Amino acid sequence: MIRFLDILFSIFGLIFLSPIFIIISALIVSDSKGGMFYKQIKAEIIIN
């Protein structure tokens, strides 16, 4: 019963907060020259 309530409330939370997430992501995209997510090139050191 507890697991069911956890899943139910998390689904309701995602449905309720998704418009806010969309608005925030649109503001980030419109404000910055890049995208919503940070991209970087990782340097890898290989030691034999």
- pLDDT tens sequence across 5-48: 999 999 999 999 999 999 998 888 888 877 777 778 888 888 87
pLDDT of residue 39: 79
The pLDDT, as a whole number, for residue 4 is 96
Q: Check residue 41 and give its pLDDT.
A: 85
Query: What is residue 30's predicted lDDT score, i.e. its pLDDT?
Result: 87
User: Distances in Å between the alpha carbon of 35 and those of 4, 7, 25?
Assistant: 36, 31, 9
Q: pTM above the 0.75 mark?
A: no
Q: Which DSSP letter does residue 34 get?
A: S
Q: What is the pLDDT of residue 34?
A: 73
